[in-house]
Chains A and B, each alone.
Chain A
Amino acid sequence: MTDAREPDALTPYARSLGITLHEWDGGIPVMTVAFDDTVEGRPQHYHGGATGGLLETAGYAALRAELDRLGRDAVLKPINITVQYLAAGKSRASFAKGRITKLGRRSANLTVEAWQDDPSRPIATAVMNVLMAERDG
C-alpha cells in the first residue's frame, strides 16, 4: 500500500542523486544511497552535501508517509535544516530515517539520523522544520 507510493515520495533531486527506498520500518521509510561518484567529496568519502541531501530526503519521506497515513495532502517547503556531522561517511551505502518530533497544521519538526553499518552509530543527524502549504488549485 504505502510501498506503492515510493516514486511520489522521492523528489526529482533525490532520484537524480540515486536515493531509493531501502525498507519500511514501523511505517517509516528508511532511505538509502549507494556510494558512487555522485556522492563523493574527499576521495572515498561522502561529500557533506550528499549526506545532507540523504538526511533531508529521509525527513521529507517520513513526513510524506505520515501525511498519507492521515489522509492529508500538502506541498512540502523547506524552512531550515541543521546538520551535525558525527563521523566521516565511508565508501559504502548509507541509510537514513526520519522521526516526526512535532506535526502541526502548518509546519512539522523532524529529527533524522543517517548511518552506514550500525543504526546505533549515526554518521550524521539533522533537525528540520518543514512548511506544509496547501496545494494550488
Chain B
Amino acid sequence: MNEFVATVVRGLGNGSIYALLALGFVIVYKSMRVISFAQPAFMMAGALLVSYLVVSMNFFLAVLVALLLVALLGAGVERLALRPMIGKPVFVIAIITLGVDIVIRTVVNSFIGLDIRQMGDPWGLGQVDVLGVKIDQRHLATLVTTLVVVAALFAFYRWSRTGLAMRAASSDQEVALAQGVSVGRVFSLSWALAAALAGLAGVFLSTGIGLEQNLWLTALKALPVIILGGLDSLGGAVVAGLSIGVVEALVGSYGGDLHPVFGGDFFLVVPYLLMLLVLLVRPYGLFGTREVERI
C-alpha cells in the first residue's frame, strides 16, 4: 500500500509539471487562439536562469528573479514576433512560435554547455516520511507549489480587473475592445504568464540531478494534456496534467504485472493513447468549450 501511495505522489509531482506547462499553452490559446510551441524554450530558459542566479543568491529568490525575467522574455517575444502577425492565419502564427522556440533553445543550449548544470535547490534527492510513506521532497514541493500557483491564477482570473479583462478578450476581442479593454496588453500579459509558468515547470523538472539540454522534450507531454483537458480550460489543464502524471506512474510501476506488453517503457505512450481516446469521444477535450459554428 505504501508503495502504491508513493507511486501516486510521484505521479502527482510529475503531473504538476505537466499541468504548469499545459496552463501556459491554455492561457495563450485563450487569448490568441494559437497553440504556442515556444513553451519548451521558456521552460529551459527559466531553469537555465535559476542555475546561473543561484550561484550568487538564495534559491527561492533566484526562482523569483528568473520567472520575472522569463515573463519579460515572453512578453517581448509576443510584442516583437507575434503582434505584427495579428490577423494572419493561425497556422502561420503557430509556425512562428516554433521558430521562436528553436531560436531561444539554441541560445539557452549554448549557455547550458555539454554538462549538467546544478539548480542548488534545497530538496535534492531528499525524502520525507509522511504517515510511513517515503516521498521525494521535490515531488511534494512541486505539487504544493503548483496548487498554490493554480489557486492564485484562478483568483487572478476570477477577481482582478485585469483577469476580468483577459476573460472578456478571450470571449470576444471586438466587444472587449469596445469596452475599453486593451487587447494588446492582454496578449502581452498572456505570453508573460505562460512563459513564467513554463519557467517554473523547468525549475522543478531540473531539481534532483540537474539541468541538461535534452530536458525540453518533457514539455511535449503538455500536448496530450491540453487535448485531454480542453484547449481553453484552465481547470482542465490542471486536472488532465495531474491525471496523466498519475496514470503514467501507475502504468510504469504496475503495467508489467498485468501483461508484459504494458511493462518497460509502455507508460510513455499512455498520455497519447488517452489523448486519442478523448479525441474520439469528446473532440473538444473533457473540459473544453464546445464550439458552435454557423453553417
Q: Do A and B come from one complex?
A: no
Interface of B toward A, CB cutoff 8 Å: none
Binding site for B on A (CB under 8 A): none
